[in-house]
Amino acid sequence: MARLFGTDGIRGVANVYPMTSEMALRVGRAIAYISRKKGHTPRILIGKDTRLSGYMLENALVSGICSMGADALIVGPMTTPGVAFLTVSMRADAGIVISASHNPYQDNGIKIFSSDGFKLPDAKENNFEKLITSDDLPSLHVDPSDMGKAYRIDDARGRYIVFLKNSFPAEYTLEGMKIVLDCANGATYKVAPEVFFELGAEVIPLFHEPDGKNINKDCGSQHPETLANEVVKNRADVGFAFDGDGDRVIAVDEKGNVLTGDQMIAICTSVMKKKGTLKKNLVVNTVMSNIGMGLAFKELGVKTITTKVGDRYVLAEMLAKDASIGGEDSGHIIFSDHHTTGDGIIAALQLLSAMKYEGKPLSNLAKIMKVFPQRLINIDVTSKPDINTIPEIVKVIQEVEKKLGDKGRVLVRYSGTQNMCRVMVEGPTEKDTEIYCRKIADVITRKIG
């Protein structure tokens, strides 16, 4: 049997293995079973994004949890970082998120947080997966008199909003600022506009009317084009685009320029260094980070540690080295002084805090980092063999790396959540990156596409 957990939980097409109601039932049973303690009724918190399949999976999870003698705390539509916060705030034994993040509505997923608000480490995830697939699991349910209950937590959104607002410096306000928010028809559709409005901003919300099928559809952090146009059209100070589950954000400056996650990290790092809040003078990034970030940090005198792709790996290194900021170019940014996981709304608020501190528009602050041309091509693949075992692919990668020399780089990796191979090339010009990236992608398509 193929491994259930990828880099960000279990994920797949809804109603198709492994994202079936039967699997969700087993996940619910397993998380409740491992949370059992003598004399204690476990409480498992469940949140979801706005996908149509969320109802099916939510009810199956609740059924599994209650069958094992645990109580289910249902918070409804909630961001992934919101579930992490509420799990800790409500002293729950675990938190479950039903979401496939930035994927289209047909997909869904299940992510799990432990009682401390952190995602499960690989070792615990492996043991948890063994229990989920165990033939013994169905026989472990409790007697009828010991079954659990389900409770709907009506004030969950309000609790989370207060938490988010407290991450913004008390000495600042957003009064006089006009902010456009692209909520991706996802989990931030109610929370984000309320947070920025309560902090004093004039808010123009976009894509905030989910119907179960329009999440991430031509909107959100992967499609910021409409946001950029609306920022310019409305003469706004800044715009933010979140992804479906709210753990990522991409910013747009007042001129309509889209900033990368790397640029946001560089801006916030610069201000944190000036304020003396940059722990260990250190930032954690990933192999996907732009070359320009490294050059900017060298200029700032800031140290960096690079991890493989995945927020769990960034966070693990941050905790190990006591770093206060880390993240990915995709806009998944972690501020460890504020949260246990990446939170798009917190990241947006920290960027606004930096703007307030510097007293400058975002377009000016973005100049701190030169973004090298980068091309990314995603290729659907039928299998995921080790790239180094395919001579034709190894050869074309080496050819491109030789031509780029020290003026660029190549990164080829499989997606941890989809049957996809990602080819990324950075180079001195847009033309070069396009040509070289396409050259590698064509070979991969022929061999395993």
Lowest mean pLDDT among 14-18, 164-168, 383-387: 383-387
Lowest mean pLDDT among 42-51, 57-66, 198-207, 421-430: 421-430
CATH 3.40.120.10 fits 5-154, yes or no: yes
Q: How far is it, in rounded angstroms, from Cα 102 to Cα 100?
A: 6
In sequence order, which ranges of 201-342 are alpha helices (DSSP H)?
225-233, 261-275, 291-300, 311-321
pLDDT in tens, 24-40: 999 999 999 999 999 99
Q: Looking at the predicted structure, is the pLDDT value of residue 1 above 60?
A: no
CATH architecture of 159-168+176-252: 3-Layer(aba) Sandwich (3.40)
pLDDT in tens, 391-413: 999 999 999 999 998 788 899 98
In this structure, the number of other CB atoms found within 10 A of the CB of residue 303 comes to 15
Q: How confident is the model at residue 4 (pLDDT cuts 50, 70, 90)?
A: confident
**CB within 8 A of 394, min separation 6: which ones?**
387, 388
Cross-strand partners of 405: none
pLDDT in tens, 264-286: 999 999 999 999 999 999 999 99
pLDDT at residue number 197:
98
221 is catalytic: no
Cβ atoms of residues 188 and 240 within 8 Å: no
* Residues 223-230, mean pLDDT to the nearest whole number: 98
Check 21, 101, 114, 353 and give the catalytic one.
101
Q: How far is it, in rounded angstroms, from Cα 375 to Cα 212?
A: 31
Lowest mean pLDDT among 119-128, 145-154, 192-201: 119-128
User: Quick one: 222 exposed, middle or buried, by C-beta within 10 A (0-12, 13-18, 19+)?
Assistant: middle
Lowest mean pLDDT among 41-55, 184-198, 428-442: 428-442
Q: Looking at the predicted structure, is the pLDDT value of residue 126 above 90?
A: no
Q: Is the pTM of this model over 0.85?
A: yes
DSSP label at residue 7: B
Q: Of 81, 121, 87, 98, which is closest to residue 334 (Cα–Cα)?
A: 81
Strand order in the sheet with 94-98: 5-6, 9-13, 107-114, 94-98, 43-48, 71-77, 150-152
- Is 5-154's fold the same as 261-368's? yes
Q: How far is it, in rounded angstroms, from Cα 385 to Cα 422?
A: 14
pLDDT at residue number 124:
84
pLDDT at residue number 310:
85
Domain boundaries along the sequence of the chain: 5-154, 159-168+176-252, 261-368, 374-448
Which of the following CATH numbers is that of domain 374-448: 2.30.30.100, 3.30.310.50, 3.40.50.300, 3.40.640.10?
A: 3.30.310.50
pLDDT in tens, 290-339: 989 999 999 999 999 999 888 889 999 999 999 999 999 999 999 999 99
pLDDT at residue number 215:
98
Spell 255-280 as b/e; 16+ CB within 10 A means b. Answer: ebebbbbbbbbbbbbbbbbeeeebee
Rounded to the nearest integer, the mean pLDDT of the chain is 95
413 HSE (CA, 13 A, CB side): 15
The percent of residues in the chain predicted with pLDDT above 90, rounded, is: 86
pLDDT at residue number 2:
60
Q: How confident is the model at residue 141 (pLDDT cuts 50, 70, 90)?
A: confident
pLDDT in tens, 341-399: 999 999 999 999 999 999 999 999 999 999 989 899 999 998 899 999 999 999 999 99
Cross-strand partners of 379: 421
Which of the following CATH numbers is that of domain 261-368: 3.40.120.10, 3.40.50.150, 3.30.450.40, 3.40.50.10420?
A: 3.40.120.10
